[in-house]
């Protein structure tokens, strides 16, 4: 019995796709049949390794595309690169993000500006550029990777929480603007997920975090990727403006 490939013929851009949630998302979309542009800003070797995995294991077209998302022109240009590499664009997953954690009193202007630029403003520039081809073809799927920190806040992450909350506002506004053109815009809000960002937490912080999660464990990148893949499936076309929590019940 052949593997179901409901995204066959679709072209996707995933930012921050060389590792973590982005990599898992690229794999999930490719498994479903989509061609994938693996967006990255560093680690070209890791990005190329993802491309090779998608091509060899899932038999899809894939390309590694570099962009400095701190630069508005480069962020928008990533969409143009994707259209050129894949022949079009149907799906965008804005996953790239950074954190510069500290108490608000100790945050520098650079700490604030860098996180807002990468985690929020770059996503806006990519969405704006991606909507042009999507509106022309009257189809598109956008998923913005927010965070549970953008829903309930988190001490020591006022910049990160503000950026991720902004992504939710962006998601809901765009969803209302483009729904009539068969373009959906949704967000996922991961909680504590086992990635490079969380492995740097100390044992005490990790234990405290896990104790607050009703499921009693951290999530995996693959679990977040599954939620993202669900939101871009044909069967999910009536879901838009939604924020899907993938947090083990943390914000329940």
Catalytic residues: 160
Helices (H), 153-248: 158-178, 196-199, 203-211, 221-231
Show the tokens assigned to 102: 């500290």
Q: How far apart are CA 7 and CA 39, in angstroms?
A: 19
Q: How far apart are CA 49 and CA 196, in angstroms?
A: 17
Would you say how long the chain is, in residues? 252
Q: How far apart are CA 10 and CA 251, in angstroms?
A: 33
DSSP string computed for 114-128: HHHIIIIIHHHHHHH
Strand order in the sheet with 140-145: 62-66, 35-40, 11-14, 91-94, 140-145, 183-190, 243-246
Could you give the C-alpha distances from 201 to 128, 204, 208, in angstroms and in order?
35, 8, 11
Grouping H, G, I as helix, E, B as strand and the rest as coil, residue 144 is strand
- Helices H, strands E: what count in the chain? 10, 7
User: Which residues, listed in sequence order, are joined to residue 144 by a DSSP beta bridge?
Assistant: 94, 187
DSSP label at 201? S
Burial environment of residue 110 by CB neighbours within 10 A (0 to 12, 13 to 18, 19 or more)? exposed
């Amino acid at each position: 019995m052949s593997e179901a490939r409901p995204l066959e013929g679709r072209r996707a851009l995933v930012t921050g796709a060389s590792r973590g949630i982005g990599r898992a998302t690229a794999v999930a979309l490719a498994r479903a049949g989509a061609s994938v542009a693996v967006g990255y800003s560093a680690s070209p070797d890791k990005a190329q390794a993802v491309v090779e995995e998608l091509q060899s294991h899932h038999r899809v077209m894939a390309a590694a595309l570099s962009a400095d998302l701190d630069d508005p022109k480069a962020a928008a240009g990533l969409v143009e690169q994707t259209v050129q590499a894949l022949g079009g664009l149907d799906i965008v997953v804005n996953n790239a993000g950074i954190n510069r954690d500290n108490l608000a009193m100790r945050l520098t202007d650079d700490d604030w500006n860098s996180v807002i630029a990468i985690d929020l403003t770059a996503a806006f520039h990519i969405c704006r550029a991606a909507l042009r081809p999507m509106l022309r073809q009257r189809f598109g799927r956008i998923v913005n990777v927010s965070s549970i920190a953008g829903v309930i806040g988190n001490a020591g992450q006022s910049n990160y929480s503000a950026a991720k909350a902004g992504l939710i506002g962006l998601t809901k506004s765009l969803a209302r603007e483009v729904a009539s053109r068969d373009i959906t815009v949704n967000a996922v809000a991961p909680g504590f997920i086992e990635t490079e960002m969380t492995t740097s937490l100390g044992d005490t912080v990790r234990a405290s975090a896990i104790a607050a999660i009703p499921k009693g464990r951290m999530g995996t990148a693959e679990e977040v990727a599954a939620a993202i893949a669900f939101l871009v499936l044909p069967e999910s076309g009536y879901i838009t403006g939604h924020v899907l929590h993938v947090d083990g019940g943390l914000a329940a």
